[in-house]
Amino acid sequence: MKIVIVDYGMGNLRSVLNKFRKLGVACEISAEPRAVEEASGLILPGVGHYGRAMDKLRRLDLLDLLNQRVQDDRVPVMGICLGMQLLMEHSEEGDAEGLGWIKGDTIRFRLDDRPTLKIPHIGWNSIRQARPHPISDGLTQDELFYFVHSFHVSLTDPTDALHVTNYGYEFVSAVQRNHIFGFQYHPEKSQDAGIQVFRNFIQLVNEPTHVPSESHSLPAVTE
């Protein structure tokens, strides 16, 4: 098994790399097509501007290959922070089209009526599990994770929500559809809880039959 962290120049890649290596997994940072072609699992990290991130993926000529690996080959993929937002169809940031692997948009926090809450949302906050999934095994219902973001996702299908968090209002903080996972928070900065998320992802890469073929059909989550 080899995990490839896709290097498109947006994010603290080495922190993610170090966490996977501590878990004894072969992992590398690369923008080389050959590495993406050989990956057992893919990580899309990211901190920065949505539109510029998509432009960089285009300039690296990685979009078609990523679509092939994720949509056709069904390689498990994890988006982190901006990487989760890129899974959506569109973002208000830069009025940019995204990867479109999960239907929805990335929008800026609507906190005009909450002047005491600052944007970006920075620091530790708890999650609520919207539904069970093996990627959440070992996490408590109110587990704390570390966040740094000004935008969040708004899903077309609320059943794609995996975790939700409250910051002025409830927003989606993790998503899952089939073998595609996204986390708005930073597992690599979230101590033991983050390590558990990475450990669960590794298990799903090793045993992909544990990944459900369809999203769960559950009541809508308030966004």
Say if residue 222's pLDDT is above 50: no
What is the rounded distance in angstroms from the CA atom of residue 10 to the CA atom of residue 33? 18
Output the six-digit token pair for 218.
């559950």
User: Of 27, 81, 149, 179, which one is the catalytic site residue?
Assistant: 81
Say if residue 215's pLDDT is above 70: no
* pLDDT tier, 208 (very low <50, low <70, confident <90, very high otherwise): low
Reduced to 3 states, what is the DSSP secondary structure of residue 1? coil
Q: Per the domain annotation, does 202 fall within a domain?
A: yes
Expressed as residue numbers, the domain containing 168 is 2-210
Q: Per the domain annotation, does 222 fall within a domain?
A: no
Least Cα distance to 9 among 55, 42, 70 occurs for: 55
Catalytic site residue 81? yes
What is the rounded distance in angstroms from the CA atom of residue 179 to the CA atom of residue 183? 13
More confidently predicted of 12 and 122: 122
Q: Per the domain annotation, does 131 fall within a domain?
A: yes
- The contacts of residue 135 (CB under 8 Å, 6+ apart) are 162, 176, 181, 197, 200, 201, 204
133 half-sphere exposure, CB direction, 13 A CA radius = 31
Q: For 83-106, what is the mean pLDDT?
A: 97
Q: Per the domain annotation, does 215 fall within a domain?
A: no
In Å, the largest CA–CA distance within the chain is 49
Catalytic site residue 163? no
**What are the beta bridge partners of residue 106?**
91, 153
Q: Per the domain annotation, does 218 fall within a domain?
A: no
Q: Per the domain annotation, does 216 fall within a domain?
A: no
- The contacts of residue 195 (CB under 8 Å, 6+ apart) are 19, 22, 23, 187
User: Of 149, 152, 179, 186, which one is the catalytic site residue?
Assistant: 186
Number of structural domains, the chain? 1
Catalytic site residue 90? no
What is the rounded distance in angstroms from the CA atom of residue 23 to the CA atom of residue 90? 34
**Percent with pLDDT over 90 in the chain:** 88
Q: Per the domain annotation, does 217 fall within a domain?
A: no
Q: Per the domain annotation, does 199 fall within a domain?
A: yes
Say if residue 144's pLDDT is above 60: yes
What is the rounded distance in angstroms from the CA atom of residue 54 to the CA atom of residue 98? 7
Q: What CATH number is given to the structural domain containing 81?
A: 3.40.50.880
- Which amino acid is present at 71? Q
User: Of 27, 38, 188, 210, which one is the catalytic site residue?
Assistant: 188
- Summarised one tens digit per residue, pLDDT across range 101-130 is 999 999 999 999 898 999 999 999 999 999
